[in-house]
Structure 1
Amino acid sequence: MNKREFLRYALYAPAAVALWTRTSYSSPAAVISVSQQTASGPHKLPPLPYEYNALEPYIDTETMQLHHDKHHAAYVNNLNAAIAKHPELSNRSAEDLIRNLQSVPADIREQVRNNGGGHVNHTMFWQIMKPNGGGEPTGPIAEAIKRTFGSFAEFKKQFNDAGMKRFGSGWVWLVRDRAGRLQIISTPNQDSPLTQGLYPIMGNDVWEHAYYLKYQNRRNEYLEAWWNVVNWDEINRRFETATSQRTTRRT
């Protein structure tokens, strides 16, 4: 059985999932079984804003099911399990926990970093994609990209390059820093730019579970295809949020 077949089988076989997470470098949050529901706690798995097959042919249905229902759900479960050890944290959002990791008790800090980061990153990820998306950006984000990178084509080239150069698992991001500048960065695992004081405008997941069923080891093809599902309306909203937050901090 090759890796593609194993991953497809793992979507339906909890025992295979358990074996996979024990014997390979996968997500820090083990994939949960099909029958397991999201554990109770303050953090909830958000529903997808579209059907599983809505991003076809660029992101396949099986990948969306596995990615959202298993991987993202596992991050939520494990974050809730960590928070249960310190109930005083239950009223804090996942973003606040990630942004202020040093305030999280040391015994659960790594769990919160991995699983809180996974929850925050994926919650954003589903929102910045949509059916019939893609094309060139419009509005304020288009102007900011042109001003910073010279053109959308150059931005896209640098973004994809950063995604390809991320060794192992991680993310590639467009972020806004405290000075209001746009930057392309990549982070390992489920680390969030929030921990660096950066605001993530958009990001692409380059963990293998995000693309392997369809693209196998051809990450470059996935990165290129992903632009066809980008939701520029949501990215503009996030850009405006980042701008308003910076203005608020300065006043």
Structure 2
Amino acid sequence: MSLYLTWLDLNSWLVELDNQRILIDPWLVGPMTFGLPAWLLQLTRLTPRPCPESIDLILLSQGLPDHTHPPSLQQLDPQIPLLCPPSALETVQKLGFHQISVLHHGETYALGNIQIQATLGSPIGPLRQENGYVLQSPASGCSLYYEPHGYHDPALSNFAPIDVVITPISDVHVPLLGTIIAGKTQGLELVTAVQPQVIVPTAQPGEIQATGLLARLLQGLDMGDTLEPDLAQLPNPPQVLHLTPGQRQEIALRHKPALSL
């Protein structure tokens, strides 16, 4: 089986599985403001990188601008198929994408041999819950799970084991907003449920610079207080694989029989 991951910083990923190239939550150009005024918070890339080429699918997990980032999406061919939660639909329609598939929780989408199922993701306010995704390749027997805020569907155990999990491993608490990333708080439960071989951290500060009034708060966060010490206590702990932004990494997995879906 062949699985390659490229971390494009923050929560932006290129997944290569079964010769399919899937671009997740792309932040490729321009600043990131999270929908806030730039004077309050803005992230800027320290290392510009080219947009990935030959993309087979754009996969969006949330409708918020740090996951559905209009300046980045405008750099991509609007003919590329795009998969998103209902919260992102209006934005991507305005950007002119022609092949949009909206996935509600529990629904599936086929990309070649890969089955993509939407799971419950991060809660945004009391009435909205975004998407996580499970990607399964029956041909290779490989499976991958992605959710960027650490809020996981209780039904994920139905997919166990999942080979690779892309998840935060730290918590982020913001005054007035509460816990916006629950990687450490929820992570051990996730690992127990899906028994991954490899955990790849997301929502990490890569090669970026934060400016604005909230920047000091973010710079004071203890991102070193992670899930890793708890994982080390498990009988068969997963490998935690820290990637370098921009570097393509082959993910080595133990051989498994092909999935039967």
Q: TM-score, normalised by structure 1?
A: 0.26
| Structure with greater strand percent | 2
| Structure with greater helix percent | 1
